[in-house]
Structure 1
Amino acid sequence: MTIDAESGGRSWPKAAGIGVAVAVATAIVMLALASAGVSPFPEPPSLAFAETLLRRPLPLPVGLLFHIAYVTFWSVIFVRYFQRRNIKTALALAGALWLLILLVFFPVVGWGFAGININAKLIPASFVPHLLFGLLLWGLDKYLPRTASKHSRAV
């Protein structure tokens, strides 16, 4: 059985499923840390971004939907389009997205460069879910069964 080289044997729905699973798992960890009182974030970054974008206060589920959409988007990009999908590549993507949140998202929502206007603890606190994202993305992509290509099924 061969694997479709273009997508690594992952259909769009399976790639999206990996993304949703990664998004839900990371959201659970972040919400658990927030409810335990150990998170330095004034609110979830995805909720802060949604509120900034829509210019009004929003309930937490809206922020969670933004989080799921964002994480699923990047997971699908990784699963469908990255030729090398090893742990180093997944962690590199996670690191790039971590830098994106520090350099773009935090300033956009008013938290300042790297979240410094709120608390310097936002730097390591935002690293943890990105590390988890990279590990989960790699693990689910590597260990979930792949789909055989149409050509291999016909042979």
Structure 2
Amino acid sequence: MTQHRLREGFGYGVVATIAMSILMLVALVSEMSPMPQPIPKAIVAQLFGSGIPKPLLMALAVGLHLGYGGLFGAVLAGVARPVTIRKGLALGIGLWAVMQVTFLPFLGWGVFGTAIIPKIAAATLILHLVYGGVLGWTMDRDTSSAAGASPTTTD
């Protein structure tokens, strides 16, 4: 496992997190999201308290979200050969499941968001499928292009 592969995985993880975050923010702004606030922001507020200045809160939330997404992109790059869309989607579903039973209860939103509204589970699943799909697609395209193969591998 090379550092280059891990760095690429981290970078693609950040790209996938940005794609996921754009969708999340569009849903929040358009009031289509069942979540009362972005989950990264809620986690940082829960960890550091409500008195944290908003610019610092947002910087920490964005940094943590991008770092977490990048970290798991690197993990996928390190353990999966080749990285494919299917493997990216599986990672997204796994991260979603962990979030449902750890982070949402930590926020007081209940397992699968049921303390607020069960639609949170579906909304966050869509977001994590976007993350995993973009991660798998971009990494698959990169490795397929480098090998001269078709970038549409889905295995």
TM-score, normalised to structure 1, is: 0.81
Quote the residue 2:131 is aligned against: 133
Matching residue within 55, 66, 69 for 2:67 = 69
Contact kept in structure 1, 2:113 and 2:120, CA below 8 Å: yes
Regions of 4+ moved over 6 Å: none
Cα distance, 1:29 vs structure 2: 1.2
**Aligned letter for 1:131?**
L
Larger radius of gyration: 1
Cα distance, 1:70 vs structure 2: 1.1
Counterparts in 2 of 1:10 and 1:81: CA distance versus 1, 3 Å: farther
Task: Answer 1 or 2: higher relative contact order, Cα 8 Å, separation at least 6.
Answer: 1
Matching residue within 11, 16, 19 for 1:22 = 16
> How many aligned residue pairs are there?
142
Q: Report the Cα distance in structure 2 between the residues aligned to 1:100 and 1:24, rounded to whole angstroms.
A: 20
Between 51-60 and 40-49, report the one with greater CA deviation: 51-60
Quote the residue 2:42 is aligned against: 48
Quote the residue 1:3 is aligned against: none
Counterparts in 2 of 1:22 and 1:68: CA distance versus 1, 3 Å: same
Contact kept in structure 2, 1:47 and 1:66, CA below 8 Å: no
Matching residue within 73, 81, 84 for 1:83 = 81
Quote the residue 1:151 is aligned against: none
Question: Any unmatched runs of 5+ in structure 1?
Answer: 1-5, 149-155
Verify: 1:115 aligned to 2:109, yes or no. Answer: no
Cα distance, 1:147 vs structure 2: 7.0
TM-score, normalised to structure 2, is: 0.81
Quote the residue 1:153 is aligned against: none
Matching residue within 88, 95, 100 for 1:102 = 100
Between structures 1 and 2, the one with greater helix share: 2
Verify: 1:36 aligned to 2:57, yes or no. Answer: no
Contact kept in structure 2, 1:20 and 1:71, CA below 8 Å: yes
